[in-house]
Structure 1
Amino acid sequence: MYWYKNFNKYLLTPLSAVLITSGLYSCRPDVKETGSEKRFFDVSAYFKNEAVRLTKLNPAVTKSASHNNDTQTQKVHIKNWTAELDLFTISDINKPSWRDSYTIANSGDSLIIYKAKLPELKTKEILVRKHSGKVDLVMIYNHTDNLLYQSSEKLTYFPDSLYLIEKRQSVKLLGTNKYKIEGILR
């Protein structure tokens, strides 16, 4: 037993140091690739920045929500702009695998249109309009179609004035539902 106590005392200390050091090395933060420039308008970053900006600004919002033309309207202060703009944020098309999956059309300096080349892509089209280099309109068209359901979304955003989410969803055996959320910023 004497050799075991000495083994633990003298050998495990240097061995422990090596294991801890190698363990710490594996905990280093991920390094992002350099040169990974965004090919398309960065929808995700734009709406994350808008959520932060609107949270600080805390505007009053006249918000209407409707389901199959049954509408409710109230004046609110949105507490979680990240969640409120989530459908916009997740419509980002800057995934590396989609680099060649969208066409880019420019209409002068003010309007850029991204259109999906492949029918299986959910985000079909994004329109970004700028005035004096600043975004003044973002429109996104999403569509999903499979054996169980069909879903279409039209997302419209005018900074500092309006956001509109229009959704139509048809589910087999359950029928069609229409949803609309409109927020007018004051």
Structure 2
Amino acid sequence: MKPFLFLLLCALSACGPTTPQTAPKPVYFDVAGYVKDQIGTLEKAKPTVTKQALISGKTNNQTTSTIDWAKELELFLQADINKPAFRTSYAVARPDSLTYEYTLKPSEEKLTVRALTIQLDADTQKPVRIEALLKTENPLYTSERHLWLESGADRRTGWGIRKYRVEGFQQLTYFDRNTFRVEARVN
């Protein structure tokens, strides 16, 4: 009888009210949250974008309002460092109250995002500028991408992306380096 009462007591105590698990507070600035919000805003607003691409010496200019914003801003989502595994991977500097600088610690050299800087607007506390350096290296392939995203006040969307730029290179071992630069202005 005693074992039965013990099991019953254990079972009943396990049925207590559960407390909802909350996600841990981000350690670093929430770049992904900002970019995802902007993707939603841009998909609704459908602004015209003037884009210039320079890939391996060839230039292409384009003006369009038909853009898959999730695909267009995918590299900026890749610059997100708010992942549980990265909680102690970056050195944090605050040169002033409106700037966050994150630099990859030397012991974490395998991570793609090497540096990330966010400058905030003094009034809105929203990003004015996001810069990131992404680097991938392995025995067969090397890639480096510099990302810039600038935001500001906009009469249609309130606060939003004004322009962005991605430049860098990709190189396969034993092949020439392919350089690229894509710059876009949201009108």
TM-score by length of 2: 0.79
Residue in 2 that maps onto 1:144 = 136
Query: Which residue among 65, 70, 80 is the counterpart of 1:92?
Result: 80
Residue in 1 that maps onto 2:169 = 168
Q: Aligned with 1:62: secondary structure?
A: strand
CA distance in 2, matches of 1:39, 1:93: 9
Residues 63/146 of structure 1: CA separation in 2 closer, same or farther (3 Å cut): same
Structure showing greater radius of gyration is 1
Residues 185/32 of structure 1: CA separation in 2 closer, same or farther (3 Å cut): farther
Letter in 1 for 2:81: I
In the alignment of these two chains, the number of paired residues is 156
CA distance in 2, matches of 1:177, 1:100: 33
TM-score by length of 1: 0.79
Residue in 2 that maps onto 1:18 = none
CA distance in 1, matches of 2:56, 2:143: 15
Letter in 2 for 1:123: V
CA distance in 1, matches of 2:86, 2:181: 29
Query: Which residue among 42, 52, 73 is the counterpart of 1:64?
Result: 52
Runs of 4+ in 1 over 2 A off after TM superposition: none
CA distance in 2, matches of 1:167, 1:131: 27
CA distance in 1, matches of 2:21, 2:53: 42
Deviation at 1:64, TM superposition (A): 1.1
Residue in 1 that maps onto 2:157 = none
Residue in 2 that maps onto 1:114 = 102
CA distance in 1, matches of 2:144, 2:110: 13
Residues 87/32 of structure 1: CA separation in 2 closer, same or farther (3 Å cut): farther
Point out the structure with the larger helix share.
1
Q: Aligned with 1:161: secondary structure?
A: strand
Give unpaired runs (5+ residues) of structure 2. Answer: 1-18, 152-160
CA distance in 1, matches of 2:62, 2:20: 44
Residue in 1 that maps onto 2:10 = none
Deviation at 1:170, TM superposition (A): 1.3
Q: Aligned with 1:170: secondary structure?
A: strand
Root mean square deviation of aligned Cα: 1.6
Moved more, 148-157 or 50-59: 50-59
CA distance in 2, matches of 1:39, 1:82: 24
Q: Does 1:135 align with 2:123?
A: no
Identity rate, percent:
28
Give unpaired runs (5+ residues) of structure 1. Answer: 1-30
